Amino acid sequence: MKLKLYILLLFLIGKSFFAQNNYYWVGGAGSWTDLNHWRIGSSSGQTATIIPSRYDNVYINSGSGFPASGSVTLTIPSSATCKDFIIDDSFTGKVNFPAGSIFNIYGNLKWKSNAGALYNMTMNLYADSSNSTPNLIDIPDNLIDPNYIYINYTSSINLKGNGTFKLVRNFASNGYFQFNVSESAFLDTDNKNITSQQFVYSSTTASKLGTSTLAGNLATFNAAANLTQATLSYSNLTVQTTQDIKRLHCLQLPDMSR
């Protein structure tokens, strides 16, 4: 009996420790690590006692305090980690994230073009096979502030883990992006298109790329990539000799040496 109570106590403690909270940003410009800018449950909720973790959802909405114009920055000292990262449809303000910002997102990603990174950004997206639903990637247009695009600054979208990602819209952000699918990540494009400076598919899992058009400058696909219905359009392309591709547009001969 005592053993059962002890196990139950450990379960409750663990559940409490990993409890998911909804964090709302308030007060406009500030640092991700400043607790005064975080509210729990709603924009008018209690002040947070710790910054968001990989188990917590983050919301930027109409109550976040950003003006409709100007350069107002939400500073990320090292990296920003959370479960869902949601820029709500109600958000009409303008917010920038500093150059070199790193996001570690373990759930859904929803962006809006009135938010933008300066120069380069790194978006690390993680999915776990224990989740019954895919992590949604909803990026309607641009991730980079149009005033801060330079060819020497490369940004990246990195899909990692062993779970499933699903595109809600076409990915065609401004800026110079690398789109990477690695580890054992499964990508369901839902027949949406991906346009990026570079696309690298190194995942050990065969993704569902459907009838998507994948386009850009450079691309590398391993043997696991399922391109049977996809259209590829790249200047430089490296593929496995065993790949079946529906349609191929290439400005240079592909590298078939591997």
Secondary structure of residue 253 in the 3-state scheme: coil
User: Smallest Cα–Cα separation from 221: which of 206, 235, 229, 173?
Assistant: 206
In contact, 250 and 235? CB cutoff 8 Å: yes
Please tell me the distance from the alpha carbon of residue 39 to that of residue 109, in angstroms, as a whole number.
20
pLDDT of residue 244: 73
pLDDT of residue 239: 87
Q: ∠129-60-65 over CA atoms, to 5°? A: 165
pTM, entire model: 0.89
pLDDT of residue 81: 98
Q: ∠194-141-231 over CA atoms, to 5°? A: 15
Structure tokens at 34: 């400043």
User: Smallest Cα–Cα separation from 172: which of 143, 149, 148, 146?
Assistant: 143
Residues of the chain with pLDDT under 70: 1-19, 241, 246-247, 250-258
pLDDT of residue 206: 93
pLDDT of residue 59: 98
pLDDT of residue 11: 41
CA dihedral 29, 21, 102, 156 (to 10 degrees): -120
pLDDT of residue 119: 86
